[in-house]
Chains A and B, each alone.
Chain A
Amino acid sequence: MVTSMAQLGSFAPTADEQIAARYRDIYTRLLMTFSTDQPCVIGVTSAIEGEGKSTVARGLATLLAQDGALLEPGQRDGDILLVECHRSQRRRGEVASLVRPGLMECLRGECSPQSAIAATGVERLWMLQAGREAADFPVLIRSSRMDELVAWIRRCFDLAILDLPSILTASDTQVLAAHVDHVLLVVRAGVTPGSLVRRAHRAMGEKVVAAILNDTRRDLPAWLDRGA
Chain B
Amino acid sequence: MKRYLATFFRGIWIYVPVLSLMVIAATVGGLRLGYTKYDATAHVWIEKPALSAVLGLNAQQTYPPPPELSQQQADALNQLLQSNSFVTEIIKRAPGAFHLAQGQTVPPEAIDTVRQGMQVIVLGPNTLMLAFTAPDANLAEQTVQATFDQYSVWLVSQELEQRLAERQYYLTQLTAHGKQLNAAKQAVADAERQFPKLDPSDNPNSVAPQTLDLERLQRELETAQAQYAQTQAKLDELGPAEVSPGDGRLTRMRLLDLPASYPQPLATRVTSLLAYVLIGAMAGLVAVLAAVAIVTWRDTSIRTLDDLERLVDVPVIEALPHFSGTRRRGRLPDAGASHGEIHAPNGAFDSADAEPAPTARKRVSV
Contact = CB atoms under 8 A, between A and B. Distances in A.
Chains A and B form a bound pair? yes
Interface of A: 14-20, 22-23, 25-26, 29-30, 33, 52, 55-56, 58-59, 61-63, 66, 77, 79, 82, 91-92, 98-101, 113-115, 117-122, 125-127, 129, 155-156, 185, 187, 189-195, 197-198, 201, 208-221, 224-225, 228
A18 B317 contact: no
A197 B308 contact: yes
Contact of B336 (A19, A100, A198): A19
Given A82-B342, A114-B356, A213-B305, A15 B326 contact: yes
Contacts of B77: none
B363 A216 contact: no
Name the prevailing secondary structure of the B interface residues: loop
Contacts of B321: 22, 215-218
Contacts of B357: 118-119, 126
A211 B336 contact: no
Interface string B336-364: 11110111110011111010110111011
A26 B342 contact: no
Given A66-B333, A208-B314, A212-B318, 17 more contacts: A19-B336, A19-B338, A20-B337, A22-B320, A23-B337, A30-B317, A66-B337, A79-B360, A118-B357, A119-B357, A121-B343, A122-B333, A189-B319, A190-B303, A211-B316, A219-B9, A220-B9
Given A114-B365, A221-B9, A224-B5, A192 B301 contact: yes
A98 B5 CA distance: 51
Interface residues of B, number: 57
21 contacts: A20-B336, A26-B318, A33-B315, A63-B337, A82-B342, A98-B351, A100-B349, A114-B361, A114-B364, A115-B356, A117-B360, A121-B343, A121-B344, A129-B349, A156-B363, A191-B301, A192-B302, A201-B312, A208-B312, A208-B314, A213-B318
Contacts of B338: 15-16, 19
B352 A101 contact: yes
B342 A210 contact: no
B10 interface: yes
B303 A219 contact: yes
Closest 4 pairs between A and B when the two form their complex, measured CB to CB: A119-B357, A219-B6, A16-B336, A121-B332
B254 interface: no
Contact of B333 (A121, A195, A201): A121
A189 B301 contact: yes
B311 A194 contact: yes
A46 B301 CA distance: 14
Nearest to A58: B342
Given A59-B339, A62-B337, A118-B348, A210 B314 contact: yes
A81 to B, nearest CB: 9
A120 B318 contact: no
B323 interface: yes
A215 B320 contact: yes
A187 B300 CA distance: 13
Contact of A119 (B323, B326, B344, B351): B344
Interface string B12-38: 000000000000000000000000000
B103 interface: no
Nearest to B357: A119
A190 B365 CA distance: 46
A58 B340 CA distance: 8
A193 B334 CA distance: 35
Nearest to B321: A216
A217 B322 contact: yes
A187 B120 CA distance: 67
A99 B345 CA distance: 16
B322 A62 contact: no
Contacts of A126: 357, 360
Contact of B341 (A58, A101, A192, A214): A58
B9 A197 contact: no
B53 interface: no
Contacts of B301: 189-194
B25 to A, nearest CB: 28
Contacts of A198: 311-312
Nearest to B10: A219
A18, A121, A127, A192 — which one has the most chain B CB atoms within 10 A of its CB?
Answer: A121
A75 B42 CA distance: 107
B59 interface: no
A18 B364 CA distance: 34
